[in-house]
């Protein structure tokens, strides 16, 4: 490969990406430094980047005075249960599609886009009506159920891509050795797609952790509310303290970013690989 | 495909294939039927009734909801905002993401490339609530970093009120959405660029092709299907997006940034008129379906050319 050192295109690439990177990470950094500033300092000097005195006051307020530990717990429970159920259901479905309904596997992306088309604001009205009828309003169980609506289609789509890479010869040898379908699936296939399974689970977790609309409209008591909505309600406080707001936002954003960085290689390829049509 | 058929036959012989194959897909099918198809049908039914949030009884009123919605100036205002919001966001995301991906592909130093890639991915990982709050704080009209910086640098005479000025609210939201969505395009287009066999470029270079010719005849045909699909996915996602606008401006000031999902929310939840909100939802869905059919016609034509 020829190495071009000072081509105008290369220069442009560096300049563009530098500006882009700064624009991309600045809000994260600003959020973090703001979370460690005292409110006096934030208001006195709105453009100073680093705090003069780093303080944990905002985090203390959010966690203990505003009781965010409860909301963190709720979000964790809802997101973890959603992840466990959605990943299991989707792994079975993705494998079933690949092995028994290959034609369906070929139109997965179109199916995914179709489910994307259903606006959540449309879905939430029937959800609310049904939840009321089966007495699941204002419950985390109901919320987990509803979260299946967006996590399962995406997880199936992702997993179909991963299962496609499993060579069928391995399964056939397992079958010859006398293992039944389910044993072949759990003992032979699943270990092979473990990295894909982990990425999918993480992605489902992030989406459930970040979800806002359903939690806002289906959960009414603050003791059962998830973190995203709890952060939003801070805005309704008499005096909006941006320091606490940024500390609360940091608590939402950090798990998401850490997990995302762990799986960024896996989610990137999806559309570019064979999983397209 | 061939080996699939073979396995299916053998599965029938040993494991009782019919029960087993349904065992794998049934749970997911149940979820799709209960959580996507049932609500769709139920919305369709509600859209012809006078159902409200509070009453359990309702009766069929024909097309009255649809007529009501189509007579509502707020609906058309919201539809217009939705078009602007979607076109502006998707176009911006694609341009920034695409140029970013091409730039990233030019960088030969793997470490630098990876560093840029990680930085550019950060916004994608932002939960909607964090996106909303950090931008609201940075754009705050009294203590926000951006207005203060703009004024201190003498670019604007006073503190610009990005989110509470009618004229500025929607463009600001679109810029925030570009910030959020461009990384997804960038990463996917970059991944697609990496799958192009390098020797094609080398062969083209030997044949004396210019950079532009390589782009038009090698790069573009390779990645346009991916870009097309990304545009479809993004369009649908942005069009249906409720969280970001609700959390940042709640459709304000004075409805200046109210899109279709916010209109449905105001009608169905705040106004409790489930029937009317359902009619608006159905119209939104129909519009999206038409749009997607159009997109797919284009993408299919590209696929045929390959």
Interval B161-197: pLDDT, tens: 999 899 999 999 999 999 999 999 999 899 888 888 8
Cβ atoms of B296 and B232 within 8 Å: the answer is yes
Residue B53 inside a domain? The answer is no
* Residues B294 and B235 both lie in one domain: yes
Of A16, A34, A276, the CB nearest to B99: A16
Residue A277: pLDDT band by 50, 70, 90 thresholds? very low
Q: Answer whether residue A7 shows pLDDT above 50.
A: yes
Specify the pLDDT at position A238. Answer: 64
Nearest to A254 by CA among A24, A32, A27, A2: A32
Question: Per-residue b/e over A164-179, b at no fewer than 16 CB within 10 Å?
Answer: bebeeeebeebbeeeb
Q: Answer whether residue B129 shows pLDDT above 50.
A: yes
CB atoms within 10 A of CB B6: 11
Report how far residue A68's alpha carbon sits from residue A76's, in angstroms, rounded to the nearest whole number.
Answer: 12
* Structural domain boundaries enclosing B265: 63-305
Write down the CATH number for the domain with range A59-276.
Answer: 1.10.3720.10
* Residues B126 and B4 both lie in one domain: no
pLDDT in tens, B66-95: 999 999 999 999 999 999 999 999 999 999
* Residues B41 and B8 both lie in one domain: yes
* Residues B204 and B151 both lie in one domain: yes
Residue B56 inside a domain? The answer is no
Residue B65: pLDDT band by 50, 70, 90 thresholds? very high
* Residues B129 and B222 both lie in one domain: yes
Residue B7: pLDDT band by 50, 70, 90 thresholds? very low
Q: What is the mean pLDDT of residues B112-133?
A: 92
Residue A1: pLDDT band by 50, 70, 90 thresholds? very low
Specify the pLDDT at position B11. Answer: 43
* Residues B27 and B144 both lie in one domain: no
Specify the pLDDT at position B162. Answer: 92
Q: Answer whether residue A53 shows pLDDT above 90.
A: no
Residue B253 inside a domain? The answer is yes
Q: Do B281 and A121 touch (CB under 8 A)?
A: yes
* Residues B298 and B211 both lie in one domain: yes
* Residues B42 and B184 both lie in one domain: no
Query: How far out from the chain centre does Cα B252 lie?
Result: 21
* Residue of A6, A29, A121 to mutate, interface with B, max B Cβ within 10 Å: A121
Cβ atoms of B180 and B244 within 8 Å: the answer is yes
Looking at chain A, which residues constitute the CATH 1.10.3720.10 domain(s)? 59-276
| CB interface of B with A, residues 9-68, below 8 Å | 10-11, 14-15, 17, 20-21, 23-25, 27-29, 31-32, 35-36, 38-40, 42-43, 46, 53
* Residues B11 and B90 both lie in one domain: no
Q: Count the domains in chain B.
A: 2
Chain A residue closest to B233 (CA)? A113
What percentage of chain B exceeds 70 in pLDDT?
A: 94
* Residue of A24, A49, A58, A156 to mutate, interface with B, max B Cβ within 10 Å: A24
Please give the mean pLDDT across all residues of chain A: 87
* Residues B210 and B250 both lie in one domain: yes
> A151 — contact with chain B (CB < 8 Å)?
no
A131 min Cα distance to partner chain B (Å): 12
Question: Can you give the CATH number for the domain in which B256 is found?
Answer: 1.10.3720.10
Specify the pLDDT at position B71. Answer: 94
Report how far residue B31's alpha carbon sits from residue A147's, in angstroms, rounded to the nearest whole number.
Answer: 10
Chain A residue closest to B9 (CA)? A100
Residue B58 inside a domain? The answer is no
* Residues B185 and B214 both lie in one domain: yes
Specify the pLDDT at position B300. Answer: 85
Q: Answer whether residue B8 shows pLDDT above 60.
A: no
Q: Answer whether residue A14 shows pLDDT above 60.
A: yes
Q: Answer whether residue B240 shows pLDDT above 50.
A: yes
Residue A107: pLDDT band by 50, 70, 90 thresholds? confident
Residue B99 inside a domain? The answer is yes
B162's tokens: 């990005």
Specify the pLDDT at position A269. Answer: 55
Report how far residue B174's alpha carbon sits from residue B95's, in angstroms, rounded to the nearest whole number.
Answer: 13
Specify the pLDDT at position B306. Answer: 67
Specify the pLDDT at position B2. Answer: 44
Q: A55 vs A42, A43, A59, B134, B230, CA distance in Å?
A: 12, 15, 9, 19, 43
Q: Answer whether residue B139 shows pLDDT above 70.
A: yes
């Amino acid at each position: 490969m020829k190495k071009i050192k000072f081509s105008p295109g290369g220069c442009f690439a560096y300049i563009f990406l530098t500006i882009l990177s700064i624009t991309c990470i600045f809000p994260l950094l600003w959020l973090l430094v703001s979370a460690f500033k005292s409110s006096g300092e934030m208001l006195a000097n709105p453009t100073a980047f680093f705090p003069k005195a780093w303080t944990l006051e905002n985090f203390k307020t959010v966690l203990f005075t505003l009781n965010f530990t409860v909301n963190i717990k709720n979000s964790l429970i809802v997101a973890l249960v959603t992840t466990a159920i959605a990943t299991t259901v989707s792994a079975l479905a993705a494998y079933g599609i690949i092995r028994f309904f290959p034609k369906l596997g070929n139109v997965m992306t179109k199916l995914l886009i179709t489910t994307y088309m259903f606006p959540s604001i449309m879905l939430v009205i029937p959800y609310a009506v049904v939840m009321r009828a089966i007495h699941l309003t204002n419950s985390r169980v109901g919320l987990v159920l509803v979260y299946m609506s967006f996590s399962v289609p995406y997880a199936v789509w992702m997993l179909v891509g991963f299962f496609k890479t499993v060579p069928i010869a391995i399964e056939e040898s397992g079958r010859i050795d006398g293992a039944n379908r389910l044993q072949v699936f759990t003992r032979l296939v699943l270990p092979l797609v473990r990295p894909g399974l982990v990425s999918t689970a993480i992605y489902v977790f992030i989406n459930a952790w970040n979800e806002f609309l359903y939690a806002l409209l289906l959960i009414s008591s603050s003791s059962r509310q998830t973190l995203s909505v709890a952060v939003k309600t801070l805005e309704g406080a008499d005096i909006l303290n941006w320091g606490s707001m940024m500390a609360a936002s940091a608590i939402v954003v950090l798990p998401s970013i850490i997990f995302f960085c762990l799986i960024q290689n896996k989610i990137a390829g999806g559309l570019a690989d064979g999983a397209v049509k | 495909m061939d080996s699939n058929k073979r396995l299916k036959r053998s599965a029938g012989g040993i494991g009782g294939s019919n029960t087993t194959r349904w065992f794998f897909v049934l749970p997911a099918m149940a979820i799709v039927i209960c959580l996507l198809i049932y609500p769709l049908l139920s919305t369709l039914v509600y859209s012809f009734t006078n159902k409200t949030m509070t009453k359990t009884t309702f009766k069929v009123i024909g097309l009255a909801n649809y007529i009501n919605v189509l007579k509502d100036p707020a609906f058309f205002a919201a539809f217009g905002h939705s078009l602007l919001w979607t076109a502006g966001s998707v176009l911006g995301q694609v341009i920034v993401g695409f140029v970013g991906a091409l730039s990233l592909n030019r960088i030969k130093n793997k470490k630098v490339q990876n560093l840029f890639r990680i930085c550019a991915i950060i916004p994608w990982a932002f939960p909607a609530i964090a996106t909303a709050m950090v931008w609201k704080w940075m754009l705050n009209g009294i203590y926000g970093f951006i207005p203060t910086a703009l004024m201190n640098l003498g670019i604007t005479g006073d503190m610009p009120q990005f989110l509470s000025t009618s004229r500025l609210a929607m463009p600001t939201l679109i810029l925030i959405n570009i910030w959020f969505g461009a990384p997804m395009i960038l990463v996917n287009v970059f991944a697609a660029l990496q799958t192009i066999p390098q020797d094609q470029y080398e062969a083209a270079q030997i044949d004396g092709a210019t950079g532009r010719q390589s782009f038009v005849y090698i790069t573009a045909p390779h990645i346009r299907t991916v870009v097309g699909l990304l545009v479809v996915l993004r369009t649908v996602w942005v069009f249906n997006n409720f969280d970001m606008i609700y959390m940042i401006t709640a459709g304000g000031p004075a409805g200046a940034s109210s899109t279709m999902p916010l209109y449905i929310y105001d009608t169905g939840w705040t106004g409790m008129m489930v029937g009317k909100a359902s009619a608006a939802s159905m119209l939104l869905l129909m519009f999206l379906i038409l749009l997607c059919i159009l997109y797919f016609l284009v993408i299919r034509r590209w696929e045929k050319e390959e």
